[in-house]
Amino acid sequence: MFPKLTPRATVGALLTASLALAAAGCGSDDNSSGTSSTKAASSSSDGAKIAFLLPENKTARYESQDRPFFTDRVKQLCPKCEVIYENATQDAAKQQQQAEAAITRGAKVLVLDAVDVASAGSIVNRAKQAKIPVLSYGRLVSDAPLDYYVSIDPYKVGQQQAQVLLDGLKAQGKTSPKIVMINGSPTDSNSAPYKKGAKDIFDKAGVTVVKSYDTPDWSPDKAQQEMEQTITSAGKTGFDAVYVANDGMAGGAIAAMKAAGIDPSKVLVTGQDAEVTGVQRILKGEQLMTVYQPLKEIAGKSAEIAVPLAQGKPVPANIATSKTDNGAGQVPSVLVPTLSITKDNVNDTVIKDGFLKAADVCTAAYAAACKDAGIQ
> By residue range, what is the domain housing residue 276?
154-292
Q: Could you give the number of structural domains in the chain?
A: 2
Residues 283 and 299 in one domain: no
Residues 287 and 196 in one domain: yes
Query: What is the residue type of 204?
Result: K
Residues 35 and 162 in one domain: no
Residues 284 and 299 in one domain: no
Whether the pTM exceeds 0.95: the reply is no
Residues 129 and 175 in one domain: no
Using 50 as the pLDDT threshold, list the residues of the chain that sit under it. 1-44
Structural contact between residues 360 and 354, judged by C-beta atoms closer than 8 angstroms: no
| End-to-end Cα spacing for the chain | 65
Residues 53 and 135 in one domain: yes
Residues 38 and 111 in one domain: yes
Domain-embedded: residue 374: no
**Each residue of 335-375: pLDDT tens digit?**
999 999 999 999 999 999 889 999 999 999 999 999 999 99
Integer Cα distance of 239 and 245 in angstroms: 17
Residues 140 and 20 in one domain: yes
Residues 181 and 251 in one domain: yes
Please name the helix (run of DSSP H) or strand (run of DSSP E) that holds residue 306, with its range, or none: helix 295-310
Residues 128 and 194 in one domain: no
Residues 15 and 128 in one domain: yes
**Each residue of 179-198: pLDDT tens digit?**
999 999 999 999 999 999 99
CATH number of the domain that 148 lies in? 3.40.50.2300
Domain-embedded: residue 330: yes
Integer Cα distance of 135 and 152 in angstroms: 14
In the chain, DSSP finds a helix count (H) and a strand count (E) of 14, 13
Q: Strands 107-112 and 82-87: what pairing?
A: unpaired
The pLDDT score that the predictor gives to residue 45 is 52
Residues 127 and 61 in one domain: yes
Domain-embedded: residue 368: no
**Each residue of 206-216: pLDDT tens digit?**
999 999 999 99
